[in-house]
Amino acid sequence: MEEDPALDMARLVEIQHVGKELYEKAQTQFHEGERIYRLALGTYVTEDVWNAAWRDCPSGWPEAWQLISNGYVEASDLLGDSERIAQCHDRLRPISEALSLDWNDGLKDALAPQPIGRTMLDAIDIAANELDGRVREEFPSGAPVFRINDEGDYVSEKDWNEVWALHPGWWEEAWMLADNGTYRSEEVTGMTVGEIARAYSDPEYCPEIAFYTEAE
Q: Which of residues 110, 141, 165 is at a domain's end? A: 110
Whether residues 146 and 161 fall in one domain: yes
Whether residues 184 and 143 fall in one domain: yes
pLDDT at 204 over 80: yes
Q: Which of residues 77, 110, 143 is at a domain's end? A: 110
- Which amino acid type is present at position 188? V
Whether residues 133 and 69 fall in one domain: no
- Is residue 193 within 8 A of residue 39, CB to CB? The reply is yes
Q: Which of residues 60, 84, 110 is at a domain's end? A: 110
pLDDT at 5 over 60: no
Q: What is the pLDDT of residues 31-85, one digit of tens each?
A: 888 888 888 877 889 999 999 999 999 888 998 898 888 777 788 888 887 788 8
In a domain, 3, yes or no: no
In a domain, 1, yes or no: no
In a domain, 53, yes or no: yes
In a domain, 39, yes or no: yes
In a domain, 166, yes or no: yes
Beta strands (DSSP E) in the chain are 35-40, 43-46, 98-100, 144-147, 154-156, 211-214
Helix (H, G, I), strand (E, B) or coil at 63: helix
Whether residues 18 and 89 fall in one domain: yes
Contacts of residue 187, defined as CB under 8 A and 6 or more positions apart, other chains included, come to none
Count of domains observed in the chain: 2
Whether residues 55 and 71 fall in one domain: yes
Whether residues 125 and 209 fall in one domain: yes
Whether residues 94 and 140 fall in one domain: no
Whether residues 127 and 197 fall in one domain: yes
In a domain, 4, yes or no: no
Pick from 201, 202, 130: which is nearest to 165 by CA?
Answer: 130
Whether residues 104 and 122 fall in one domain: no
Q: What is the pLDDT of residues 92-128, one digit of tens each?
A: 655 556 666 777 777 777 777 889 999 999 999 999 9
In a domain, 71, yes or no: yes
Whether residues 15 and 100 fall in one domain: yes
> Residue 85's domain spans which residues?
9-110
